[in-house]
Amino acid sequence: MGGGKTRFAVLGAIEAYAGDEPLDLGPAMQRKVLAVLLVNAGQTVSSNQIVEAVWHDTRPHNALNTLYTYIARLRQVEGLEIARRPGGYLFDAEPESVDLQRFRTLLRRARDLPDDDAADLIGEALGLWRGEPFDAADTPWFVQQRAALSEERFAARLRYTDIALRCGRHGALVPELTAVAAEHPRDERVAGQLLLALYRDGRQAEALRYYEDLRVRLAEELGADPSPELRLLHRQMLTGDPALTLLTGQAVPCQLPAPPPAFVGRAGVLAELDGAASGVVVVGGPGGVGKTALVLRWAHDHASRFPDGQLHVNLRGFDPSTPPARAAVVLRGFLGALGVLPERTPDDLDARSALFRERVAGRRMLVVLDNALDEDQVRPLLPGGSTCLVVVTSRNRLTGLVASEQARPVTVPMLTDDEAIALLTHRLGSARLTDSDALHDLIRLTAGLPLALAVVAARALTHPAFPLDALVKELRDERSRLDALDAGEPASNVRAVTSWSYHRLSPAAARLFRLLGVHPGPDIDLVASAALAGAEPAQVRRLLAELTRAHVLDEPAPGRFASHDLLRAFARDEATPGEAREALGRVLDHYLHTGFAAERQLSPHWPPIDLAPPRPGAFPLQAGTYDEAVEWFTAERAALLACADLAIRDGWDVHAWQLPWVLSTYLTRSGHWDDRAASQRAALTAARRLGDHAALAEVLLLLGRGHSVLGDQPRAVDELTEALMSYRAIENRTGEGIAHFSLSVAHARRSDPTTALEHAQQALALFRRAGDRAWEAFSLAAAGWYHAQLGEADLAIDTSTAALRLLRDVGDRDCEAHTQRTLGVVQQQRGDHAAAVGHHRRASRLFRDLGDSYSEAATADQLGDSLHALGESSAAHEAWKRAEALFDALGLPEADTVRAKLAD
């Protein structure tokens, strides 16, 4: 961290140094702003998050303006790079230039080293602390961060002490442990470390006195006894148990296989294991996710917690070449390791299990049961009492153990991008990873599965001349991806490892698993799963439960199911073309008909399209309310877009244009305009392939409207004009009127309100002749807006008021909201800001209820203007802040315009 480079410190005072020279970071509040960015090094932090962290409820009147000033000043500090990112700011420098990030890096590196080297790194990490973090910063955020960091420091000290005790440094530890025990008088892990250090240092009497003092204090203050672990340690000291001494020669079983040579990340799961002192922990996850590696890494790091030994067995629950290990055979091996002679080993399983429990009773031991098949295989191997810890790994969730044995479930997730990069760097070296695009593609295509990354690393090592992009190209083809992830033997072949789980499924669950691989979306709910299977939801619910128990399917949110891409690729390969095609037809019909019903709730006055009846087993749903429709579209948006992509790619042309149709209103109101335009462009291809003139007119209409929203008015006018001609050709007068209406909007956005008004009036005439009161109201509302743009205030008010009278009968909240906004703008033009505020507030509430983020943002901006004109500065700032947040969330430049108003 030296050598003239700028380094930053928060583990004590908030400071920065260029080499050994301190840098001026400005006043206290400015240093606190920097501290928030340093704690989140490498991550974007929003302006509002920084303000909340630094000021909380003492924020200045123009907090954001003050923040921008501080950021500008900090950017002038030597070596301090603060980058602006969408939605916030990023400390853009090497994370290890911050003492906190280096502290955490040293602790991570220590996990993979022998004890002596690990102790040195942890000692270096603890040496970075210079006092209480963040000076005297006392907002809730800093208080919470300080407490969390203190916990991290304390955990590191405990870990250092465990290692030092294993390395025989007990004598040097006694003074420090005595001080720490005084600082944490009720921490029984610290007490145990001090007792062991005193005992090993030849100070047995002192150790026994300390235990007795602790016992009395706990009884008086808490009415409790010392923990079972401390009581056992006390008994061992009283009896002179040789297990407490180092290198005693006692035959203590140490059956753990070697730890993995490369291990990265997994901090969250390791922390869950750290919290387990005894009982049963079930470590679950799909094949290849690294369950065994994680447990062995943790077991070796914490071996000192189990001085009476560690037992290990591979139960071979999913090994295709060998049947699962029988509990009786495993127990014979365990009993032999515990000193039971073969002739004294009972033949009966229950008797062996009872003898095993007897032999481990009262002993602090770790039992690792790796690769278990099910609960019945595990139960006879569980010790009794409360001193042993059993860690079970399995591809099944073993929920029976969680229920009956109160086992703690721990799920191993896929590697994060940072963890995957660290793993590849460890295996290949940074020189092979200079192509960052290829590197991130590689991680994405392997789904962060450790086994897949290990196979890729092995192939890269055996072909050192291959660029990383060559390996990526092999993985891009979905049809051959699994073939590329084969290192030459079953245990290092992703397809083979996955098949071991697949072949343990029931036939019905295996079929559903295959069909889920056909589904193109990132996740799926119960009813869509039932449509895939063509089976009743109640039956499919049971099958989904079997798949989640087997860890070939996850439930990331209640009622939604997903699996990683490699599992999906395997499932797709297993499905026959016939069953895949039938399943796709059912699920596409499910989404189309359910989406159509939901769209009717969002836009009941939009002329419907004709749908073919759904296939049997499609299970379409009916949204009962507007909010239910929005909720369904929000949950299924990604799946619907993926289905539309699949439909255009695989020749389902009717679905390829109708799915974007049902999505159109939702995507517009929720601000997903790019998705809307892209799906409609694909829909146009499908409509032209079909040669369906009615479909072509519908798609051109929606496509033109979408390009208009995106600001491409010339393209929009061309498409809408073609739609108008198509509707005339098929004599669809309602479609013709909506095309005129849409052309009016596009011309208004081209700053041509005169032409816009002409199209709106043509639309109005068509709808009046057709007796369509809803679209008559919509056309009147549009005409009112154009009159306002032309400065014709009286006509704008009269026309808009007429629209509102019609809307009382028609009942369309979207049009009412736009009409209220028009009236607000007209009143602003007239200078009647009090009346404008009323209209804008009514419009804002309606837009918010509709989920129309853009229109709500624009209206909130105008509401702020009117409030400001009335001298209501506080209310104006609230409205502008709402507008800024919405524009920011949509990624629109209007946010900067609103920020300028807030800064004034």
Confidence of residue 498 (pLDDT cuts 50, 70, 90): confident
User: Residue 487: its pLDDT value, please?
Assistant: 65
Which of 95, 126, 157 finishes a domain?
126
In this model, does residue 251 exceed pLDDT 50?
A: no
Residues 351 and 281 in one domain: yes
CA 185 to chain centre: 39
Nearest alpha carbon to residue 330 among 365, 376, 299, 297: 376
CA distance 597 to 611: 11
Residues 393 and 429 in one domain: no
Nearest alpha carbon to residue 605 among 737, 705, 760, 724: 737
User: Residue 617: its pLDDT value, please?
Assistant: 95
- Percent with pLDDT over 90 in the chain: 50
Residues 311 and 391 in one domain: yes
Q: Is residue 329 part of a domain?
A: yes
Nearest alpha carbon to residue 588 among 668, 540, 678, 524: 524
Q: Is 400 exposed, middle or buried (0-12, 13-18, 19+ CB in 10 A)?
A: middle
Q: Is residue 599 part of a domain?
A: no
User: Residue 3: its pLDDT value, please?
Assistant: 42
Q: Is residue 154 part of a domain?
A: no
Q: Is residue 198 part of a domain?
A: no
Confidence of residue 200 (pLDDT cuts 50, 70, 90): confident
Average pLDDT over residues 164-179: 81
User: Residue 247: its pLDDT value, please?
Assistant: 40
Q: Give the bridge partners for 703, in sequence order.
A: none
CA 410 to chain centre: 17
Which of 480, 495, 510 finishes a domain?
495
Nearest alpha carbon to residue 10 among 120, 148, 167, 154: 148
Q: Which residue is listed with tokens 């607000």?
A: 824
φ, ψ of residue 6 to 5 degrees: the values are -75, 135
Q: Is residue 243 part of a domain?
A: no
Confidence of residue 732 (pLDDT cuts 50, 70, 90): very high
Residues 58 and 21 in one domain: yes
User: Residue 819: its pLDDT value, please?
Assistant: 94
Average pLDDT over residues 585-598: 97
CA-CA-CA-CA torsion sign (864, 868, 869, 870): positive
Half-sphere CA count of 270, side-chain side, radius 13 A = 20
113's CB contacts (< 8 A; 6+ apart) are 121
Least confident of 319-323, 546-550, 598-602, 741-745: 319-323
In this model, does residue 249 exceed pLDDT 60?
A: no
Half-sphere CA count of 841, side-chain side, radius 13 A = 11
User: Residue 455: its pLDDT value, please?
Assistant: 85
What is the distance between the terminal CA atoms of the chain, rounded to a whole angstrom? 42
Residues 110 and 88 in one domain: yes
Mean pLDDT over each residue of the chain, to the nearest integer:
89
- Percent with pLDDT over 70 in the chain: 97
CA distance 204 to 182: 19
Residues 289 and 393 in one domain: yes
Least confident of 222-231, 361-370, 645-654, 780-789: 222-231
Average pLDDT over residues 607-630: 94
Residues 341 and 392 in one domain: yes
Check which CATH number belongs to the domain holding 329 and give it. 3.40.50.300
CA distance 894 to 368: 58
Instruction: Extract the tokens encoding 390.
Output: 């059993």
Check which CATH number belongs to the domain holding 63 and give it. 1.10.10.10
Contact 7, 99 (CB under 8 A): yes
CA-CA-CA-CA torsion sign (43, 564, 446, 370): positive
User: Residue 2: its pLDDT value, please?
Assistant: 39
User: Residue 753: its pLDDT value, please?
Assistant: 94
Average pLDDT over residues 297-308: 86
User: Residue 488: its pLDDT value, please?
Assistant: 64
Residues 422 and 467 in one domain: yes
* 91-100, 459-468, 892-901: which is most confident: 892-901
Least confident of 186-200, 231-245, 529-543: 231-245
Contact 525, 537 (CB under 8 A): no
Average pLDDT over residues 707-711: 90
Residues 407 and 425 in one domain: no
Average pLDDT over residues 3-9: 76
Q: Is residue 587 part of a domain?
A: no
User: Residue 242: its pLDDT value, please?
Assistant: 60
Average pLDDT over residues 353-361: 88
Q: Is residue 768 part of a domain?
A: no
Radius of gyration from C-alpha coordinates of the chain: 34
User: Residue 868: its pLDDT value, please?
Assistant: 94
In this model, does residue 886 exceed pLDDT 50?
A: yes
Which residues constitute the domain of residue 30? Answer: 6-126
Q: Is residue 696 part of a domain?
A: no
Average pLDDT over residues 224-251: 70
In this model, does residue 228 exceed pLDDT 90?
A: no
Which of 105, 126, 147 finishes a domain?
126
Confidence of residue 652 (pLDDT cuts 50, 70, 90): very high
Amino acid at 497: V
Give pLDDT tens digits for 407-438: 999 999 988 998 888 888 888 888 788 888 88
User: Residue 491: its pLDDT value, please?
Assistant: 67
Residues 72 and 90 in one domain: yes
Residue bearing the bigger pLDDT, 771 or 232? 771
Least confident of 333-342, 638-647, 857-866: 333-342
User: Residue 401: its pLDDT value, please?
Assistant: 93
Q: What is the pTM (predicted TM-score) of this model?
A: 0.63
In this model, does residue 485 exceed pLDDT 60?
A: yes
User: Residue 4: its pLDDT value, please?
Assistant: 55
Contact 218, 225 (CB under 8 A): yes
Residues 316 and 441 in one domain: no
Quote the number of domains for the chain.
4
Strands in 389-394's sheet, in edge-to-edge order, are 310-314, 366-372, 389-394, 279-284, 408-411
Residues 314 and 333 in one domain: yes
Confidence of residue 1 (pLDDT cuts 50, 70, 90): very low
Least confident of 475-489, 769-783, 789-803: 475-489
CA distance 421 to 456: 12
Contact 829, 784 (CB under 8 A): no
In this model, does residue 480 exceed pLDDT 80?
A: no
